[in-house]
Amino acid sequence: MGMPRGAGESREITAALRSLQRQEISFRGPISTPTGHRIVLVGNQILMETEIIELWKQGKLNLEGIGEFLTSLNPSDLDTK
């Protein structure tokens, strides 16, 4: 299972998700997967909770920033385990 979240991380995901709400970007989550990962469904995309937090910290948690992030991923970056 995944590591327990600390209070700081919990505040960060809360703030990031509030940012999505203010922008009227639909999302669901965070959702815990059977493997212990925490994901957020944003539109028809799946992002890790840590990715949402990182985009928020960078000021890129918007549709354009999410799109840029997703197109920057290389297939070799994806964990297929």
**pTM recorded for the entire structure:** 0.79
The string of pLDDT tens digits covering residues 31-62 is 999 999 999 999 999 999 999 999 999 999 99
pLDDT digits (tens, 9 = 90+) for 8-29: 678 999 999 999 999 999 999 9
Helical spans, DSSP H, in the chain: 7-22, 49-57, 63-72
Write out 31-46 in H/E/C secondary structure. Answer: EECCCCCEEEEECCEE
Domain boundaries, the chain: 8-66
